[in-house]
Amino acid sequence: MPVYNKEELVRFVEEAKQYARYGKVADYIPALGKANPNELSIAVYTADGKVVDAGDVTVKVTLQSISKILALALVLIDRGEDEVFRKVGMEPTGDPFNSIAKLEEVQPSKPLNPMINAGALAVTHMIRGRSVEERIERLLAFIRRLAGNEQITYSEEVAQSEFETAFLNRSLCYFLKQHGIIDEDVEELMDLYTKQCAVEMTCIDLARIGLVFALDGRDPHSGELLMPLDVARICKTFMVTCGMYNASGEFAIKIGIPAKSGVSGGILAAVPGRCGIGIFGPALDDKGNSLTGVKLLERLSKTYSLSIF
Ligand code: DON
């Protein structure tokens, strides 16, 4: 187990920040456009329960697509693999995260995987509960247990901002509804999905959730099983094959850590058996992944030999 030290992490953050000028903050969700592209923070949560961090780790980051992995874990627990994979596939796409193209090309027209927006919408549709409130509360309760933080909630402002502008996601929903993948009211699903994406937390919370996946679903402090081993395994596998969208192949070669990104600039990473990593760096590359965050992870992976391959 490498000894992560703060001075080294601070130095790596400063190095990676140099790349911020080549990135761009997401602004298709207007509230995300307010982020500072020069911000970069990281927390590493090791299996012995210690945290080393650098940058301003008090800043909260909305999960955006990172929430897809958590919603997937919840519906796998709720409904089991067979039911979930009847509605969503297991294959990477090579397309951007919000692409509609494959829905038309592939028959039956179920989304190819739960990490692209179409697949995530199908997964969110499967969150059990009698109302949007009950469903988001169930997801929040699950996320709070994983993070060991009862304070976690969603940002009303970011949820509302996405709800008002998510026309492409609405198109995906209508397509899915036409083809029988979902059968609920589209506005209701968008309400739930935008709240799910707006769940916010610090890098330390992200790192702790990453560690739960790294420990095959176990709470790092109590040892309690927070999700079945198979659910943790499926989620980590999707992180490797689709977690960084159409950059997943390059990420696997250069970094080799199961990880999930979000357009807010967050990254959650799980180094099996060793640590969870949470990063916030809102300067994005052209595929919607944190440019500075990926540079930072690459440095960490090379320095501490973290690749699983
Ligand atoms: O649905 C969306 O477009 C956003 N709420 C989430 C997309 C996202 O985070 C893609 N990730 N890199």
Q: Is 263 tagged catalytic?
A: yes
Q: Whose alpha carbon is nearest atom 11 of ligand 1?
A: 262
Which residue spans of the chain are classified as CATH 3.40.710.10?
A: 6-61+202-219+231-303
Residue 109: predicted pLDDT? 80
Q: Name all residues whose Cβ lies below 6 A of ligand 1.
A: 64-65, 97-98, 117, 162, 169, 197, 261-263, 288-289
Per CATH, domain 65-197 is 3.40.50.300: no
pLDDT value of residue 103: 85
Confidence at residue 3, expressed as pLDDT on a 0 to 100 scale = 65
Catalytic residue among 13, 19, 57, 65: 65
User: What are the per-10-residue average pLDDT scores of the chain (309 residues)?
Assistant: 82 97 96 96 96 95 98 98 96 89 82 96 98 98 98 98 97 95 97 98 98 98 97 98 94 98 98 98 96 98 97
> What pLDDT score does 167 carry?
97
Can you give the pTM of this predicted structure? 0.97
Annotation says 75 is catalytic: no
From 75, 263, 271, 294, the catalytic residue: 263
The whole-number pLDDT of residue 2 equals 63
**Cα–Cα–Cα angle for 197, 187, 124, rounded to 5 degrees:** 45
Q: Is residue 161 among the annotated active site residues?
A: no
- Catalytic hit among 17, 193, 240, 264: 193
Q: Where in the sequence of the chain do the CATH 1.10.1500.10 domains occur?
A: 65-197
Q: What residues are paired with 46 via a beta bridge?
A: 275
Overall fold of domain 6-61+202-219+231-303? Beta-lactamase (3.40.710)
